[in-house]
Amino acid sequence: MTEYPKLSTSTTKIITFERRHIRPIPEDERTGKPRGLFFIWLGINMLPLTVVTGALGPTLFALPLEWTILAIVVGNVIGGFGAALHASQGPQLGIPQMLQARAQFGYFGGSLLAFIALLMFLGFFASNLVVAAQSFDAVFGGGLLNVGIIVCAVVALVFAIFGYDLVRKAMAVFSVIIGVLVVVSLLLALTNPAAYATTRDLVFTPAGFFGMLAIGVTWQLAYAPYVSDYSRYMPKGIGSRQAFWATYSGLVIGTVGVMVLGALVGLTTGDDGNSMAALGSLLGGFGPVVLFAFGIASAVMNSSNIYSGVMCALTVLESVAARVRIDTGKRIGMTVGYALLATLAAVFGQNDFLLVFKDFVFVLLYVLIPWSAINLVDYFVLRKGHYDVEAMFRRDGGVYGRWNGIGLACYAAGILVQIPFMVTTMYTGPLAEPLGYVDLAWVVGFIVPAVLYVAWERAVAPQRSAVR
């Protein structure tokens, strides 16, 4: 294993400038703590976008409040477990999450998965910009959504340029502030009779319940491609167990609390889908305080989507450009370009935001589930956490090769088996109607590639050993 020299920092001891990029974090630089990791994942969901997502129960699926809350809890508990399992890999390997995909899909094959994750981070960053701008617009008025989007993007960009340390500390601070405001908001919303005087025609349907449950699962698994970006700073050994529980508890507690608030807001959200305006009305005089805090928190915490998106972009860049050396200049340049692209997407996509966001979430589910299944069974069932990290940085892929046909074929199979079960506004599979439009695509999309990958890898293992 190559020894990487300890790098000096360019700022004070309070904030450390990011210089490792996608390289392994040496043992003597593993300063992460379980408490800090918990607050990262608690705070990352203290965002207005989480409120909007919780509101989808009443607004999109026409679910009653109690069924929406149940679907939120069950979906997040299931999805959070998968995300936390990915987080436990960080302390063991010390590298970003999607760079690990090279072990299952090969050096170049892993870059395909990193590119898919890059697009996911881009979508979440743009979505957060829209909702943060809506929060400010609900407070100040004036219809300056585009200005709000640009300001929020600049704030997130500054934090992302500094990197892991500043992002981590900012998220920890805001998680406490917004957490207190969310608790107060929940109490005010629950005791406000206006929340229950909804004019919506709400009724339980299996399709609506499982659709909302699937969104909860997706919301958590959407963090799987970058949980190790932060847990890789935890110490090796016991850090894996601590990383799991810190990530799981932070993700589930933070998400469920804010989504339940969103479910209450969804009861009074207008046909325009502006849940931030509905939240402000529901909270009365306390509304502007919460909306302003949500807007600031979203601008700051959104930096995590740039940071991890750039980690994926650098992984792709290193693969396709053999002579490019990943350094601080490349990371900063990529960060600026990434933020600019997402800002343009937010500005031009804000009018159809709610419909686009719903389909975006479901597409995420379809493409992430097979990757998650393959990664988890490879790590926990086949290799049991033992990898050659140095080989992942070799252009020939070392023991993992340039392309892993088994991993890529199983991933493709995981996508294909979901198609008959898909339920979106863009496409509905032939098996959706017989199942009452209950979206079960993500279930088969996890089981099939996981079983196929384990069986296939075990079948070829003796041949590989003989060749070696």
**Which of 5-19, 308-322, 407-421 has the least mean pLDDT?**
5-19
pLDDT at 2: 42
CATH number of the domain encompassing residue 305: 1.10.4160.10
Instruction: Please write the tens of the pLDDT for every residue from 271-299.
Output: 666 777 788 888 888 888 888 888 888 88
pTM of the model: 0.81
Q: Is the pLDDT of residue 10 over 50?
A: no
HSE toward the beta carbon, residue 103, CA cutoff 13 A: 24
Q: 117 or 265: which carries more pLDDT confidence?
A: 265
Mean pLDDT value of segment 431-451 = 87
- Report how many domains make up the chain: 1
Is 463 among the domain residues? Answer: no
Is 226 among the domain residues? Answer: yes
Q: Are 446 and 369 in contact (CB under 8 A)?
A: yes
- Residue 436 backbone class (left: φ over 0; alpha: ψ -120 to 50; beta: rest): left
- Residue 378 backbone class (left: φ over 0; alpha: ψ -120 to 50; beta: rest): alpha
Tokens at 267, concatenated: 């009861």
Helix (H, G, I), strand (E, B) or coil at 296: helix
Query: In the structure, what pLDDT confidence band is assigned to residue 3 with cuts at 50, 70 and 90?
Result: very low
Q: What are phi and psi of 7, to 5 degrees?
A: -95, 140
Is 275 among the domain residues? Answer: yes
Measured distance CA(468)–CA(466) in Å, rounded: 5
* Biggest CA pair distance of the chain: 73
Residues making up the chain, counted from first to last = 468
How buried is residue 435: exposed, middle or buried, by Cβ count under 10 Å (0-12/13-18/19+)? middle
Mean pLDDT value of segment 20-45 = 79
Whole domain around residue 310: which residue ranges?
34-362
Measured distance CA(160)–CA(18) in Å, rounded: 9
Mean pLDDT highest for which of 123-127, 307-311, 385-389? Answer: 385-389
Instruction: Please write the tens of the pLDDT for every residue from 213-236.
Output: 988 988 898 888 878 878 888 888
pLDDT at 7: 41
pLDDT at 48: 80
Is 411 among the domain residues? Answer: no
Measured distance CA(11)–CA(67) in Å, rounded: 50
Is 11 among the domain residues? Answer: no
Only one residue has tokens 């980690």, namely: 311
Q: Is the pLDDT of residue 62 over 60?
A: yes
Query: In the structure, what pLDDT confidence band is assigned to residue 34 with cuts at 50, 70 and 90?
Result: confident
Query: In the structure, what pLDDT confidence band is assigned to residue 357 with cuts at 50, 70 and 90?
Result: low
Is 264 among the domain residues? Answer: yes
Is 390 among the domain residues? Answer: no
**Which of 175-189, 292-306, 388-402, 440-454 has the least mean pLDDT?**
292-306
pLDDT at 5: 42
Percentage with pLDDT > 90 across the chain: 21
Is 416 among the domain residues? Answer: no
